[in-house]
Amino acid sequence: MKLALKYGRGSVAIDTPPSWTVNVVDHGRPPFQPLEETLSASLDAPLGAPPFRDWAAGKDLLVIVSDVTRYTGAERILPFLLERFLDSGRARILFALGNHRKQTETEQRAIVSDPVFDAVACVDHDCFDDTGLTHVGVTSSGLDVALNSLLFEADGVLVTGAVSHHYLAGFGGGRKCLIPGVAAYRTILDTHKRVFNRDKPGKHVRSQAGVLEGNPMHEAIMEGISLIEKPIFLINTIFDDEKRLLHIFSGDIKASHERGCAWYHENFSTTVGKKADVVIVSAGGYPKDIDFIQSHKALENARHAAKAGGTIILVGRCEDGLGNANFLPWFDYPSSEEMEPYVRESDKVYSQTAYSTRTKAERYRIVLVSDLGEAEVRRMGMEPRKTLDEAIASLPGGSELFCHVIPEGSKTLVREG
């Protein structure tokens, strides 16, 4: 079977052996929508909120925008908002970096568009800068909430984001643009620690992609947001990989996010009738495979398609490397069982990603096609290959294997059947 898989800013061809039985696992293909008409209709009749024109009238607004690691269509939505609703002198843009790296001006411009960047003050969030953070309070579950002070200088907060599956919080977008997006590092860290069981070792069973109800990380985020005594309006988008609009959900941050998550899950999750000997999964190209931490999402989404002990070939270029300087040392622990107590008490957010990677590397043979160094990949418990052909050739020649191919792994969640 021949197929092109996205890889970095280009693609790689896949050519499986003739002895393999190959099945392509895809998500739904909802029709794309005209952006301006769909956005106008959503803003005129938002979920659980007054029309956006009324909500925004007379307010100094802080507009929160996702960073370079995820596409939200902000470069098309923000010019529309600026033209029709926003006063450039009464608006500021805050990039929700969480604890991701700082962005270049070129990246910022690309995210919001040149006209918007030139008209509206834009700033990256810094989760480590205490002078730019305001303590909001402590939730009933003990989450200490501190957020970027710009939130509290504005009359209202417009949150923009994109719905996606998230392997810890259930779904990305929406409320994650606030926490962890513009939160203090200690708040980010404590939020991520909620993924572990409190009464026994291991990860909480509800802390997984596609799950909101009972998800401890999601519930901690929502309780933290409830402490913000500012009007909040959400615009959540869903685009396909060709950047064509599929849907917009706007309005109250809880109601519109939940509605968007339900729609996304219906269209971008699936089951497989039979688990495979081999799963070949692409993260979906740049920016979904900008680094390993982002590429890992596709690995998480694909794991239920493989037999225990089977092979998963992950195709993710990782042009920015691993994604965090504190990531690799976690693999010095010889097993996930020995790693877990230290991850639980860690002050490094991406220790959870390392733990999740290790648990999968113990269950499956994982072959990573990337630009990462061989030593780095092997240290994570995976096998490095520079090309997809090399990865496929590493499997037993002539064997009659059953293979699932997942072209858009970051968007296609394989659920347990």
pLDDT digits (tens, 9 = 90+) for 200-255: 988 899 999 999 999 999 999 999 999 999 999 999 999 998 899 999 999 999 99
Q: Is the pLDDT of residue 1 over 80?
A: no
Selection from 254, 186, 194 nearest residue 222 by Cα: 254
Q: In this structure, which amino acid lies at residue 340?
A: E
Domains along the sequence of the chain with CATH: 2-25+272-414 (3.90.226.30), 35-266 (3.40.50.11440)
Strongest mean pLDDT among 43-47, 192-196, 337-341? 43-47
Pick from 315, 270, 268, 269: nearest CA to 296: 315
Nearest-angstrom CA–CA distance, 225 and 234: 13
Instruction: Report pLDDT digits (tens) over 165-213.
Output: 998 899 999 899 999 999 999 999 899 889 999 889 888 999 999 999 9
Residue 132 to residue 412: CA distance in whole angstroms: 37
Q: Shortest CA distance to 168 belongs to which of 108, 98, 115?
A: 98
pTM for the structure as a whole: 0.86
How far is residue 60's CA from residue 65's CA, in Å, rounded to a whole number? Answer: 16
Please measure the distance between the N-terminal and C-terminal CA atoms of the chain and give it in whole angstroms. 25
Alpha-carbon span 149 to 137, nearest angstrom: 13
CB atoms within 10 A of CB 13: 12
- Average pLDDT, integer, range 84-107: 91
Query: DSSP assignment, residue 132?
Result: G
CA-based torsion, 341, 193, 237, 134: positive or negative? negative
Q: Which helix (H) or strand (E) holds 262?
A: helix 253-268
Looking at 113-160, list the stretches that DSSP marks H as alpha helix, in order from N- to C-terminal side: 114-119, 150-153
CA distance 111 to 63: 13
CB 85 within 8 A of CB 75: no
The tokens for 294 are 């982002």
